Structure 1
């Protein structure tokens, strides 16, 4: 009886502490796992490479080969590492990190466990912009169009939510769903009316999500967005802890609720738009990874946010490796693989949560 009364008196902050956080151990281990994942993934492909060859190629291009006394690789094997596999894998890592981080922020900000980075129609808006330029025959403008579409969808969703009154989590989610369905309908109409032959295959591949065409420019855009916007989002742990208990509790703790929500939503939208512009719509990463990480870290966002980013990066690196090797010489869009892996894992998490 005493233990029951004690549990009943526990504050929300006590519930946040139910799992001990050990950032001194968890973060270095997750970082090491990501570095090893990237290194090993580069060695896997139609032509096998040794991990030492990957290290030699990277050191040579960083200008460290001479200082370390390393022999450069042949032009063919160096090209496989530096021009083909490394940009693709680094782009996958950046996209996975950003999507998982945005998913964790959205789930806390909207207090909705089913929230993901695409909740506010960002994916559908980006898809509409991308499809329009692909069918217009100007694929060079695809990143710009996708990013513009994502930001435009956010503006419409927040404008609709604001028109209904004070922007609350429920109104934000409902407005996002409305805009998402509107953009999805527009995408379907444009494809039905205009897509033919190779254009249809190109559009379909982008909509399923893929990093197969990633270049060092993709690495710069996705990686730079994660480095700048992702770092800023990862530093908002205390604000998101306050949002966990509702707007009134957050305001009582000194958080400027409306301004903080706008800043976080815009940050998530900008980061998601930059990522989607390089990879298309890759599902389940932003939905599942934050839930999986919470099983080990609890709800404290100071540890949850960076660990979600690291876990998302490693997850998408291996998902893309599976996508490009499981049916060699054909490749799957990585979005198919993440959905095939993510759906059973999400069902398992629901079952464990119900227990």
Structure 2
């Protein structure tokens, strides 16, 4: 019997199975980055307008655009429209914009962390940053600390918690050979469980339902507290982080080949990993400070984007923020309307979507981290 040898780059576990070429496959030719970005930007604008108008009180797209134009361009509205205008401009617009900003940031941070540790399962949760931010927010909310920050005390606690978790993970993972990806991931996973245990203790020891609701908010995520005051800071941090990571695109491509190969090509992986760790921690802390910890976005979005545009980090870091923004806008809308007037936690919806999507990716023959 003649043995069938698969072509280079193709692995077949069972020779009796049909070849990959006979099965439906995802497109492997990267789409044009500019075209994809323009299309996604248009989809994001349309999605934002629809999400701003939809909710318990439904406002049509035409009226929504008119109210937005009145707020931005200084137009006039009728006295009987003041309530609807306030719903659009004061409540929903900052919330939808915050959802877009956080979605974009989580998508980019997921790309950076997966490249940094060369692990397809990596995201801010894996490295303990999100859990640390949640602990900081819960501690401030329950204990009443950081009152000097006023209404932003809880957000400040979340940001400081993220930075503290980052420092702790780095110090524990550090060894004589530097910070290796494996030690970084294992340390982050262990500390994530530790942070979750701390939050459970807080719920157990603090009487009343306040601690429970606070922990639920910071572990499952919500944009219900979005305001125009909290939006500029996180938007600036996320935008600056996206630009900075885009500048590291070539280095991320090289580092994905391994530390030894990267060193031979002039890239100091250990130094780059430290810089990326700090940058992603700052971005994650800023996002968790205003939205709580939202899972699966930073895990699934990078994989979907790599399938569509390829593994080149210049393309991935251009498309991932747009895909993440569109995704999070619709997730937030679903959280508001599926069980109105009550809101579902964002983490519930992202998990219900992310789990089957990720399982589908894992079962796809030929799919590996960074592409086929």
**TM > 0.5 between the two?**
yes
Instruction: Give matches, 1:245-264, under 5 Å.
Output: 245-264=257-276
Q: Which residue of 2 aligns with 1:351?
A: 363
Query: Quick one: distance in 1 between partners of 2:78 and 2:125?
Result: 43
**Corresponding residue to 2:313 among 290, 301, 314:** 301
Q: How far did 1:192 drift?
A: 1.2
> Is 1:82 the counterpart of 2:94 in the alignment?
no
Question: By how many angstroms is 1:183 displaced?
Answer: 1.7
Match for 2:298 among 281, 286, 292? 286
Residues 100 and 290 in structure 1, CA contact (< 8 A), matched pair in contact too: yes
Q: Structure 2: where are the runs of 5+ without partners? A: 10-27, 368-372
Query: Is the contact made by 1:21 and 1:303 (CA closer than 8 Å) also made in structure 2?
Result: no
Report the structure, 1 or 2, having the larger helix content.
1
1:118 aligned residue (113, 119, 125): 125
Deviation at residue 21 of structure 1 after TM alignment: 4.5
CA contact (8 A) 1:56 1:72 kept: no
Q: In 2, Cα distance between the equivalents of 1:35 and 1:353?
A: 35
Pair 1:265–1:353, CA change in 2 (3 A)? farther
1:63-82 aligned within 5 A: 63=73, 65=75, 74-82=81-89
What is the number of equivalent residue pairs in this alignment?
342
- The residue aligned with 1:48 is 58
Contact map agreement 2:242 2:317 (CA 8 A) in 1: no
Aligned partners of 1:237 and 1:305 also within 8 Å = yes
* Partner of residue 104 from structure 1, selected from 86, 90, 111: 111
Q: Deviations over 1:124-170 (max 9, x none)?
A: 11111111111124664111000100111010111111146421111
Show CA shifts across 1:243-272 (max 9, x none): 111011112222122221111111100000
- In 2, Cα distance between equivalents of 1:299 and 1:330: 40
TM-score with structure 2 setting the length: 0.86
Which stretch has the larger CA shift, 318-327 or 172-181?
172-181
Aligned to 2:49: 39
How far apart are the structure 2 equivalents of 1:232 and 1:353? 34
Matches within 5 A, 1:173-252: 173-252=185-264
Measured after TM superposition, the shift of residue 6 of structure 1 is 8.3
Given candidates 143, 147, 152, the residue that maps to 2:155 is 143
Q: Aligned partners of 1:23 and 1:210: how far apart in 2?
A: 31
Counterpart in the other structure of 2:183: 171
Cα distance between partner residues in 2 of 1:206 and 1:295: 31
> How much does 1:295 deviate?
1.2
Distance 1:270 1:288 in 2: 21
- Residue matched to 2:12: none
Structure 1 residues without counterparts, runs of 5 or longer: 9-17
Q: Quote the RMSD (CA, aligned, Å).
A: 2.3
Asked if 1 retains the 8 angstrom alpha-carbon contact of 2:199 and 2:215, the reply is no
Distance in 1 between residues matched to 2:235 and 2:323, nearest whole Å: 16
Deviations 1:14-44 (A, max 9, x none): xxxx633511211111111111111111111
- Once structures 1 and 2 are overlaid, which stretch shifts more, 195-204 or 139-148? 195-204
Tell me the SS of whatever aligns to 2:57.
coil
| CA offset digits 1:100-135 (Å, max 9, x no partner) | 110011111111000012222111111111111111
**Distance in 2 between the 1:309 and 1:72 partners?**
38
**TM-score, length-normalised on structure 1?**
0.90
